Amino acid sequence: MGQNKTRHMFAGGNTSKGFFSYFNYILDLKDAKKFYILKGGPGTGKSTFMKYIGFEAIRKGYDVEYFHCSSDSHSLDGVLIPALKVTMVDGTAPHTIDPVYPGVVEEIVNLGEFWNTSALAGYKDKVFLGKKEIKFNFA
């Protein structure tokens, strides 16, 4: 078996005119077998999950395209396995994505279902402050 290919790119960018997105062009929905949209707050494992999916696809001999986060290049915002016509993207801001054909092509995977809300309650003020700082920096 030949060497499988990996590509690394950005599907969005933080510009002087705000966030610009190509996320809707990663995979044409008419051709897609599955388009998974990951939801959940920061730190819920969206990027880690996509890295694992990409790693497993490569291990099984598939080519993989990685889409990195424009504000943190070590983090993933998407992964595409072209031969399978399957993609997985982070559907949260600033590149919010919701299903166009829910259940037919796209599926939402809610990683927020696994939050420990009791533990997070003690960090409410810090979370609100962090969100305010992020909004200010991207304005």
According to the model, what pLDDT value does residue 35 have?
Answer: 96
Residue 114 covered by a domain:
yes
Residue 1 covered by a domain:
no
Q: How far apart are CA 98 and CA 100, in angstroms?
A: 7
pLDDT tens string 70-115:
888 899 999 999 999 999 999 998 888 999 999 999 999 999 888 8
Residue 107 covered by a domain:
yes
pLDDT-derived band at 19 (thresholds 50, 70, 90) equals: confident
According to the model, what pLDDT value does residue 74 have?
Answer: 93
Residue written as token pair 């062009």 = 25
Backbone dihedral region for residue 108 (phi beyond 0: left; psi -120 to 50: alpha; all else: beta): beta
Q: How far apart are CA 105 and CA 89, in angstroms?
A: 13
Helix (H, G, I), strand (E, B) or coil at 32: coil
pLDDT-derived band at 138 (thresholds 50, 70, 90) equals: low
Residue 54 covered by a domain:
yes
Residue 2: pLDDT above 70? no
Residue 73 covered by a domain:
yes
Tally the domains of the chain. Answer: 1
Q: How far apart are CA 40 and CA 65, in angstroms?
A: 22
Mean pLDDT, residues 2-23 taken together:
84
Residue 55 covered by a domain:
yes
pTM of the model: 0.85
Q: How far apart are CA 118 and CA 41, in angstroms?
A: 15
Residue 85 covered by a domain:
yes
According to the model, what pLDDT value does residue 82 have?
Answer: 97
pLDDT tens string 23-48:
888 889 999 999 999 999 888 899 99
Residue 127 covered by a domain:
yes
What is the span of the domain harbouring residue 30? 6-138
